[in-house]
């Protein structure tokens, strides 16, 4: 079984839930480019980083953020900004710009993981695609 979410759908969810205007673009089958429009009044600049899918274990997704020098500092800043906008325990910062996303902490996603054994997550030209199988009841 395959399910997908398009980049525009993902952008809308992030905008609605976290009040952040992010955009997403395909890089390769395991990498998505994430862009954030920084607007400090006198400075307007797009900040981009590559988000690389490293491993999916159960409902935990390990990703690496690559944005050149200062990635860890940027990551800490972003996580502090999002602290009150995302569920507690959802993101665990690891060394080397790695993030462990506990997707089971998101109520709607938790239900999916209870019913489907997710085997792969990859990036397509249009968005993200998951492959899995229904769990035996």
pLDDT tens across 50-102, in order? 999 999 998 899 999 888 777 777 777 777 766 777 777 788 888 888 999 99
User: How far is the C-alpha of 10 from the C-alpha of 16, rounded, in Å?
Assistant: 10
pTM: 0.81
Count of CB atoms situated within 10 Å of the CB of 14: 17
Pairing of the two strands 31-39 and 23-28: antiparallel
Domain regions of the chain by residue span: 2-134
pLDDT digits (tens, 9 = 90+) for 35-51: 988 777 888 888 888 99
């Amino acid at each position: 079984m395959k399910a997908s979410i398009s980049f525009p759908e993902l952008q809308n969810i992030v905008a609605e839930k976290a009040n952040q205007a992010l955009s997403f673009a395909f890089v390769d089958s395991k990498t998505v480019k994430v862009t954030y429009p920084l607007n400090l009044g006198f400075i307007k600049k797009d900040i981009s980083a590559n988000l690389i899918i490293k491993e999916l274990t159960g409902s935990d997704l390990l990703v690496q953020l690559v944005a050149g020098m200062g990635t860890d500092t940027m990551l800490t800043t972003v996580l502090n900004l999002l602290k009150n906008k995302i569920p507690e325990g959802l993101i665990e910062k690891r060394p080397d710009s790695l993030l462990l996303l506990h997707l089971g902490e998101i109520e709607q996603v938790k239900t999916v993981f209870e019913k489907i054994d997710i085997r792969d997550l990859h990036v397509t030209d249009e968005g993200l695609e998951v492959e899995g199988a229904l769990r035996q009841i």
